[in-house]
Amino acid sequence: MRCSPRDFLSFALLLSTGVAFGQAPASTSTEVVPTPVTVDREALTLRAPDAYRIPLVLRAQRRVAVASQMSGVISDVFAEPGKRLSTQVEVARIDAQERQLELEQAQALMRLAQAQQAAASSAEQAIAKERTAAAQSALKLAELRLAATQVRTPFDGIVTRVFVQPGMYVDAGDSIVELVDPSMLTAVIPVERNSVKVGDELTLQVENGVASGQIQAIIPATPDMEPLRDLFVSLAAAQVTINNAGGQWAAGQSIISTMIPRHPIAEIPNRAVLNSEGGERKVQVLREGFVRDLPIQLLGQVGETHVFVSARFQPDDELIAASSEPLVDGSWLRAKLNTPAGTAPGTNPSGAPTPRPVQPPTSNF
């Protein structure tokens, strides 16, 4: 929906130079000469950002729940959350008494089969040999089952969760610990399909730092990203990998995306977007009679003339779409009809003091 209504009004521009913000001049005898300026104002239709807030986090590319291969009672747990482990380190043990007895039985049967084969006649050698082979297979199976009572890590990594404790009964396939490999991290972030491609290098803001990543795949937007289609025409998702061999980042850290608005959203004309002295984009609004500069987050384009932006808008703000003169942040605007020449802020045409305007918030908008 395009912002409306739209007003072209002439104002008297009273710069804050020599006049304290929100106060009357030190001496009412000093004549303040207003500068006439024509301002194109537009009402703002604001959208709350809540519906577009999507949690984006770094995840380990290799992340597994190490599971039990057999059912039984946990006798020991050796892993702790946050502990870095090498490959094939034991993290837990299942009670092995029954498996130990099975192994001893298989060993005895193996010895018996070998003795019988040694004492067998030439005619019985073929049968004795097969009996020995069967005993050998049973022994290997018993050894394998005993080894399965020891739950081990499949690769070098960090334990992030422990799901069991001694005395718990687990079934085959139950998770024992969660293990992640932090050397390679990945994230799925929203992108505009036509602006990126596989293999592109991206800079991601990870909390208070910046990480470099590479796009491995362009995939359909995930279900939680679908609300962003209100703001972007060609929405997709990118799977990005980050080489973390140096350990600078950690799985679970938050990613800040330029496509996810953090403040109220409005559709504004392109001509209202200005450049600040620092090179950032901004808009100007009229707030309780004062011009305020608001840094903006550019979102999706709406046709050729309008764009969605996110900024610290307030409900009663009016967008300054254009003006005949440059406007300085903090300037005081009053309609020309109601501001005769020589009238200063804080006085009415008769010279009597008027109530001070409410001072806008002093945050760095």
281 and 252 in a single domain? The answer is no
Query: Would residue 351 count as lying in a domain?
Result: no
Structure tokens at 114: 């070998």
**268 and 246 within one domain:** no
Same domain? For 219 and 248 the reply is yes
Number of separate domains in the chain: 3
The pLDDT score that the predictor gives to residue 4 is: 44
pLDDT of residue 33: 67
* Claim to verify: residue 185 and residue 172 sit in the same structural domain: no
Domain extent, residue 25, equals 6-51+262-338
Rounded Cα–Cα distance for residues 186 and 202 (Å): 12
Q: At what angle do helices 125-147 and 97-119 cross, to 10 degrees?
A: 160
Evaluate whether residue 350 is within a structural domain.
no
Does residue 9 surpass a pLDDT of 60? no
Residue 355 maps to a domain: no
Helix (H) or strand (E) holding 116, with range, is helix 97-119
**Residues 57, 199 share a domain:** yes
Tell me: do 102 and 120 sit in the same domain.
yes
Per-residue model confidence (pLDDT) at position 278: 82
13 domain residue, yes or no: yes
168 shares a domain with 71: yes
244 within some domain: yes
User: Which of 67-71, 74-78, 322-326 bottoms out in mean pLDDT, i.e. has the lowest?
Assistant: 322-326
- Residue 354 in any domain: the answer is no
Higher pLDDT, 278 or 74: 74
Domain boundary among 136, 163, 178: 178
Q: How far apart are CA 81 and CA 188, in angstroms?
A: 25
User: Which of these three, 144, 178, 212, is where a domain ends?
Assistant: 178
Domain final residue pick, 136, 158, 178: 178
Q: Residue 198 is part of a domain; what is its CATH number? A: 2.40.30.170
Contact status, residue 190 vs residue 221, Cβ threshold 8 Å: yes
Q: What is the mean pLDDT of residues 26-39?
A: 66
Question: Same structural domain for residues 221 and 303?
Answer: no
